[in-house]
């Protein structure tokens, strides 16, 4: 009886450990996808140039479908006459039920991106 209880305890501990590892791995994959989406959008905005920068807003990306409740947006701030700050943010529902968020920011000037 004692041996059976020990085996059940070890099995329960192992199952809990594996489930936690799976959740952490999935959250890391979601975060990696969010960074790829943000980086791709920044590359696109840099390529379009300074004059094409709008005020910002939400945007779509094919990879957002891979994130639970994934959303993405940009914001553009005029730092001075020749420089704009561009931030791209991606949010999704994390494994623990809380909203996760990543953001990348860059400066784009009239003569090219920084």
Q: What digits encode the pLDDT tens for the residues 4-40?
A: 888 888 887 777 776 666 777 788 899 999 999 999 9
Distance CA 31, CA 48 (A): 26
What's the confidence (pLDDT) of residue 25? Answer: 78
User: ∠ at Cα 48 (71, 59), nearest 5°?
Assistant: 15
112 — alpha (psi -120 to 50), left (phi > 0) or beta? left
- Among 14-23, 69-78, 81-90, where is mean pLDDT lowest? 14-23
Residue from 101, 104, 86 nearest 38 by CA: 104
Whole-number Cα distances in Å, 55 to 73, 90, 99:
11, 17, 25
100 and 92 Cβ atoms separated by less than 8 Å: yes
């Amino acid at each position: 009886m004692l041996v059976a209880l020990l085996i059940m305890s070890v099995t329960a501990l192992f199952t809990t450990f594996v489930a936690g590892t799976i959740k952490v791995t999935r959250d890391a994959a979601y975060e990696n996808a969010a960074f790829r989406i943000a980086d791709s959008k920044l590359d696109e905005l840099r390529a379009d140039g300074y004059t094409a920068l709008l005020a910002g807003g939400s945007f779509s990306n094919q990879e957002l479908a891979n994130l639970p409740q994934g959303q993405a947006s940009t914001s553009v701030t005029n730092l001075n006459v020749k420089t704009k700050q561009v931030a791209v943010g991606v949010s999704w529902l994390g494994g623990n039920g809380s909203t996760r968020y990543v953001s990348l920011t860059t400066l784009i000037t009239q003569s090219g991106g920084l």
